[in-house]
Amino acid sequence: MTAASASCGRFVLLVSVLSSARAEGTCQGEACDGLAPASGHALLQVRKASTCSWAAGEGQDGSKPCAHLQTGSFTSGGIASLDEDGYKKVAKLCCHHEMSLFVRREIAKQGFDICNLPDLHGFIHWYDCSDDDKTFVQMQAEIAGASTNNCPFLGHLPNCPVQGPNCHDFTPCSTDPVPNSRSGSLADLNEAGYQNVARKCCHTEMEAFVRRQIELEGFAICDEGALQGFLHWFDCKDDEQTFDKLKAGLVMARTGLPPMCPWLGSVGQECPAMGHNCPWIEDTGPTAHRRRSACR
């Protein structure tokens, strides 16, 4: 993840919609410094672009996909109507930040609280552009089920739903011997070998196994973080996976077939391009809180 610029990129706040403009201009939601209404009641319909608004979409390579909003007027996700028409107006901006404002309002309307910010932004990535081919009805349905799916990220504070073991950080590997298990660096690269490693329920052992298979396939790792996420679904016996599914997952990770983003490349070649649904935008570093305060 790249370091965020000093211009308030990568921050998240849940705030209410302002209903009127002050003479010096107002600041709503995650957008802040420099936001100004076109005139009078137009504040409720159109917002001028602000530094924070366009910078919040900064990608892994430092690019700013929302930079086109620096000039001109547009319907902000903070005020667009919560219906299909409003969704389309925000989606055509192709700005993750503006869609974040829109999604948060729908979440609040449905009575949910946000329990996991990274998962929220992962969700937004699949709705923030027109070419995502999504609808407002689909968004509503996914939000409605986001408190009960495999890795729930919405709930009712302070009692957020408990996420499953594949959604958390890895648990420490046991030092006790496990019958019929095998080290990931030595197990055969086949079904029996995979199951022998999975018995250990140890992500470092499975990582060694998976890296060997990646090398055998002639692939190269482009995103170490994505590899760690992949391991969550294969490192234990109770994941109920197979060696064939593991290999299929690696092939998908190379091609980037939906719903995945490519995190593997081929040895000796450049890594495949990542789609706009794949960049990281969250900054959880020690300076993130100060930027949030500055953008409040």
Model pLDDT for residues 244-264, shown as the tens digit of each residue: 999 999 999 998 765 568 999
* The total number of structural domains that make up the chain: 2
Q: What is the pLDDT of residue 163?
A: 86
Mean pLDDT, residues 10-20: 26
Q: What is the pLDDT of residue 64?
A: 60
Asked if residue 169 and residue 155 are part of one domain, the reply reads no
Greater pLDDT, 211 or 280: 211
Asked if pLDDT for residue 70 goes beyond 70, the answer is yes
- Structural domain for 225, as ranges: 165-281
287 lies in some domain? no
Asked if residue 139 and residue 100 are part of one domain, the reply reads yes
Average model confidence (pLDDT) for the chain? Answer: 75
Asked if residue 221 and residue 276 are part of one domain, the reply reads yes
Q: What is the pLDDT of residue 236?
A: 94
Query: Percent of the chain, pLDDT > 70?
Result: 69
10 lies in some domain? no
Q: What is the pLDDT of residue 254?
A: 92
Burial class of residue 282, CB neighbours in 10 A (0-12, 13-18, 19+): middle
Asked if pLDDT for residue 28 goes beyond 50, the answer is no
Asked if residue 194 and residue 103 are part of one domain, the reply reads no
Asked if pLDDT for residue 10 goes beyond 80, the answer is no
Asked if residue 175 and residue 150 are part of one domain, the reply reads no
Asked if residue 186 and residue 140 are part of one domain, the reply reads no
Asked if residue 137 and residue 54 are part of one domain, the reply reads yes
Greater pLDDT, 190 or 123: 190
137 lies in some domain? yes
Report residue 85 as tokens: 């028409």
Asked if residue 212 and residue 139 are part of one domain, the reply reads no
Asked if residue 171 and residue 159 are part of one domain, the reply reads no
User: Which of 133, 163, 193 is the endpoint of a domain?
Assistant: 163
Name which of 21-25, 60-64, 129-133, 288-292 the model is least confident about. 21-25
273 lies in some domain? yes
**Best CA proximity match to 222, nearest among 250, 183, 262:** 262
Asked if residue 277 and residue 169 are part of one domain, the reply reads yes
User: Which of 136, 163, 190 is the endpoint of a domain?
Assistant: 163
17 lies in some domain? no
